[in-house]
């Protein structure tokens, strides 16, 4: 009876009878109910993944890995989270495993110990997640080789001289920087490497006008066995452009609340003062 109504909440009537108030909610249960963390929302998961996709590029740059490793790691990361939630596997750990696996797939071997030591992380975490990340095809085709191919093709298309060759090199490098951004969008999961490359080149050509791009697209498509009309291809290129325009690069400050929320989702008893994401951010960036 005391447990149900509380020891101090009993009224004594004039006739000596006891009157009990409404049952009281257990204070501890009530506190747990209000402190219970809700799962991450879809947009919070997307923002967290976007943050770590940006960090994949930063880590690859820090190790001076070629772009193909960066692209492969990003595709692995995206494919992994098509099947899993960040609430099941923390993206910080999966990010490192994807970079490690990409190095192996692209024959640029770096040991887990070396990678972990370079960023002050436990290499065993990388190895523990390796088998989980192998649930999809390891062969990845990025837009960078396609960009090189189209640039070589443009040399013949415009009968380039020495001056134009320099412009083509500028166009090539700018297109690859655009492709770096494109790889952080959902476009690599939806469009072919050739389409990604053409979208990057078209965008770069607006900054370094070298060719009449629509005329060049007509020339390229006319050489295809089953040629598609330019307007149809343009729809795809416009869609890729829109994804790049909408790309958001979250900061560590943006992630502070989400990371704390994720920490409690994964470990409700965790009360660490400083989230790991801030350590990771300030350690390298």
- Residues 185-232 have pLDDT tens digits of 999 999 999 999 999 999 999 988 889 999 999 888 888 766 678 888
Residue 132: what pLDDT?
66
**Other CB atoms closer than 10 Å to residue 237's CB: what's the count?**
21
In a shared domain, residues 196 and 215 = yes
Residue 129 shares a structural domain with residue 147: no
Domain end: 107, 139, 171, which one? 139
Do 92 and 158 share a domain, yes or no? no
Same domain, 152 and 171: yes
Of the candidates 93, 119, 139, which is a domain's last residue?
A: 139
The answer to whether residue 253 sits within a structural domain is no
User: Domain check: are 147 and 231 in the same one?
Assistant: yes
For residue 31, the model assigns a pLDDT of: 47
Predicted confidence at residue 14, as pLDDT, reads 57
Residue 19 lies in a domain: no
Give the pLDDT of residue 2: 39
Number of domains, the chain: 2
- 46 lies in the same domain as 106: yes
Q: Is residue 47 within 8 Å of residue 250, measured between CB atoms?
A: yes
Asked whether residue 225 is assigned to any structural domain, the reply reads: yes
**In a domain? residue 92:** yes
Q: Supply the CATH number for residue 113's domain.
A: 1.10.472.10
Would you call 274 helix, strand, or coil by DSSP?
coil
Does any domain span residue 33?
no
Q: Which domain holds residue 214?
A: 143-246
Do 196 and 118 share a structural domain?
no
What's the pLDDT at 72? 95
User: Is 151 found in the same domain as 164?
Assistant: yes
Is 86 within 8 Å of 40 (Cβ atoms)?
Answer: yes
Give the model's pLDDT for residue 186: 95
Contact residues for 118 (Cβ-Cβ < 8 A; gap 6+): 62, 63
Q: Give 256: exposed, middle or buried? Use CB within 10 Å, 0-12, 13-18, 19+.
A: middle
| pLDDT averaged per 10 residues in sequence order, the chain, 285 residues | 45 58 51 61 91 94 93 94 89 90 89 82 78 71 95 82 76 96 96 96 93 90 75 94 94 85 73 45 45
Report the relative pairing of strands 18-19 and 11-12 from DSSP bridges: antiparallel
**What Rg, from alpha-carbon coordinates, does the chain have?**
27
Q: Residue 271 domain-assigned?
A: no
What b/e sequence results for 67-81 when a residue is b if at least 16 CB atoms lie within 10 Å of its CB, and e otherwise?
Answer: bbbbbbbbbbbbbbb
Taking each continuous run of H as one helix and of E as one strand, the counts in the chain are 15, 2
Say if 12 falls within a structural domain.
no
Three-state SS at 47 = helix
49 and 102 share one domain: yes
Q: What local confidence, expressed as pLDDT, does residue 125 receive?
A: 78
Q: Is residue 3 part of a domain?
A: no
Same-domain check for residues 130 and 159: no
Domain match, 200 and 127 both? no
- For residues 178 and 230, state if they share a domain: yes
Q: Which of 139, 156, 191 is the last residue of a domain?
A: 139
């Amino acid at each position: 009876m005391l447990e149900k109504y509380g020891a101090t909440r009993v009224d004594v009537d004039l006739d000596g009878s006891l009157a009990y108030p409404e049952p009281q909610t257990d204070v501890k249960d009530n506190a747990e109910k209000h402190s219970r963390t809700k799962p991450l929302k879809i947009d919070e998961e997307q923002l967290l993944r976007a943050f770590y996709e940006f960090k994949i590029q930063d880590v690859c740059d820090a190790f001076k890995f070629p772009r193909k490793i960066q692209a492969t790691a990003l595709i692995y990361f995206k494919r992994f989270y098509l099947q899993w939630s960040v609430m099941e596997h923390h993206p910080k750990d999966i990010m490192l495993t994807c970079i490690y696996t990409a190095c192996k797939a692209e024959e640029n071997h770096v040991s887990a110990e070396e990678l972990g030591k370079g960023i002050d992380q436990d290499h065993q975490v990388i190895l523990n997640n390796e088998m989980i990340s192998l649930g999809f095809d390891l062969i990845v085709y990025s837009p960078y080789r396609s960009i090189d191919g189209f640039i070589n093709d443009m040399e013949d298309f415009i009968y380039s001289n020495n001056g134009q060759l320099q412009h083509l090199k500028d166009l090539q490098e700018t297109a690859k920087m655009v492709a770096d951004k494109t790889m952080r969008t959902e476009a690599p999961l939806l469009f072919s490497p050739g389409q990604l490359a053409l979208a990057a080149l078209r965008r770069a050509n607006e900054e370094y006008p070298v060719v009449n791009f629509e005329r060049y697209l007509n020339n390229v498509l006319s050489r295809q066995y089953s040629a598609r009309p330019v307007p149809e291809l343009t729809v795809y290129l416009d869609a890729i452009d829109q994804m790049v325009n909408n790309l958001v690069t979250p900061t560590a400050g943006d992630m502070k609340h989400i990371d704390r929320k994720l920490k409690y989702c994964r470990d409700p008893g965790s009360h660490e003062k400083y989230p790991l994401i801030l350590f990771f951010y300030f350690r390298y960036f």
